[in-house]
Chain A
Amino acid sequence: SQQGEEDPQALSIQEGENATMNCSYKTSINNLQWYRQNSGRGLVHLILIRSNEREKHSGRLRVTLDTSKKSSSLLITASRAADTASYFCATFSSGSARQLTFGSGTQLTVLP
Chain B
Amino acid sequence: DAMVIQNPRYQVTQFGKPVTLSCSQTLNHNVMYWYQQKSSQAPKLLFHYYDKDFNNEADTPDNFQSRRPNTSFCFLDIRSPGLGDAAMYLCATSRGDMVPTDTQYFGPGTRLTVL
Contact assessment for B103 and A98 in the assembled complex, using a CB-CB cutoff below 8 Å: no
Q: How many inter-chain contacts with C-beta < 8 Å in the A-B complex?
A: 62
Residues in A neighbouring B43, C-beta threshold 8 A: 43, 88, 102
Q: How large is the interface on A (under 10, 10 to 19, 20 to 34, 35 or more residues)?
A: 20 to 34
Contact assessment for B103 and A45 in the assembled complex, using a CB-CB cutoff below 8 Å: yes
A99 and B45 CA atoms in complex are apart in Å by 8
A101 and B59 CA atoms in complex are apart in Å by 14
Residue A11 interfacial (CB < 8 Å)? no
Contact assessment for A48 and B101 in the assembled complex, using a CB-CB cutoff below 8 Å: yes
Q: Mark B80-103, 1 if CB is under 8 A from A, else 0.
A: 000000001010101010011111
A107 and B41 CA atoms in complex are apart in Å by 11
B4, B42, B107: the one within 8 Å of A102 (CB) = B42
Most buried by A among B43, B48, B57, B88: B43
A41 and B92 CA atoms in complex are apart in Å by 12
Kindly provide the distance from the CB of A43 to the nearest chain B CB, expressed in whole angstroms. 4
Q: Would you list which residues of chain A between 16 and 62 have a CB under 8 Å from chain B?
A: 30-31, 33, 35, 40-45, 48, 50
Residue A75 interfacial (CB < 8 Å)? no
Contact assessment for A43 and B48 in the assembled complex, using a CB-CB cutoff below 8 Å: no
How many chain B residues touch A (Cβ–Cβ < 8 Å)?
29
A103 and B94 CA atoms in complex are apart in Å by 19
A103 and B43 CA atoms in complex are apart in Å by 9
Q: Would you list which residues of chain B between 12 and 26 have a CB under 8 Å from chain A?
A: none
B interface residues, Cβ below 8 angstroms from A = 4, 6, 31, 40-43, 45, 48, 50, 55, 57, 88, 90, 92, 94, 96, 99-109, 111
Could you list 11 further interchain pairs (A-B, Cβ under 8 angstroms) beyond the known A42-B4, A98-B94? A2-B42, A35-B106, A42-B108, A45-B105, A50-B101, A92-B99, A92-B100, A98-B31, A99-B45, A105-B40, A105-B42
